[in-house]
Amino acid sequence: MNPCKTGVVHLQHRRQTGITLLEVVIVIIIFCVLLGSVLESIYYYQGKAEEAAVQRLVANMRIALNSRQYEAIVAGRKFDAKALTKENPLTLLQTLPENYRGEITNSASADLAPGCWYFDVSEHKLVYMFSSKKSFLGDSFERWIFKVEFNRLPTNNAKQVDPSQAEPGVTLVQVDSG
């Protein structure tokens, strides 16, 4: 056998057995891109799940407010809607959420960790501070602010009613998000 041929065959064999640094870098880049898109999806769906949980709790508070109104009507008691506008709507629920931090002033809210509820006693507003930031660059967390508002609804929708004859009521409305 020719020694030249064996040397060439030996070099080609060595080249085919390993992977190059370029191939490793390409695999790492592809892996990082895929991992980044998976993490972005997880982050997005965690935010949507948190938003859905907040909306579900708000719906429960609205039902509790309506129940309080109808309970007074059925019992024949006068419903004090104006007093209810100053109350914390979370107290209407049978159990408070685990992430409820209590009734505090607006100045003390800066010390709270994100992902929690609190009731601002000075403004009579219920606030939820999301656990995810508005953007990667900013340091502020999105907040949804709710308030129990007094309203008067006509007893008969078909005709105009004098506001003094309308049934008083309350509703939980989102007044701001920021």
| Phi and psi based region of residue 46 (left: phi greater than 0; alpha: psi -120 to 50; beta: remaining) | alpha
Closest C-alpha to 124, from 170, 78, 155: 170
pTM of the model: 0.70
Dist CA 113 CA 130 (whole Å): 9
Non-local CB neighbours of 103 within 8 Å, separated by 6+ positions: 88, 118, 119, 121
pLDDT in tens, 153-164: 555 555 554 544
* Token pair recorded at residue 35: 């991992």
Q: How confident is the model over 17-30, as a mean pLDDT? A: 89
**Tokens 């709270």 identify what position?**
112
Q: How far apart are CA 121 and CA 129, in angstroms?
A: 16
**71-129 confidence digits (pLDDT tens):** 888 888 887 778 888 889 999 899 999 999 989 887 777 788 888 999 999 888 999 98
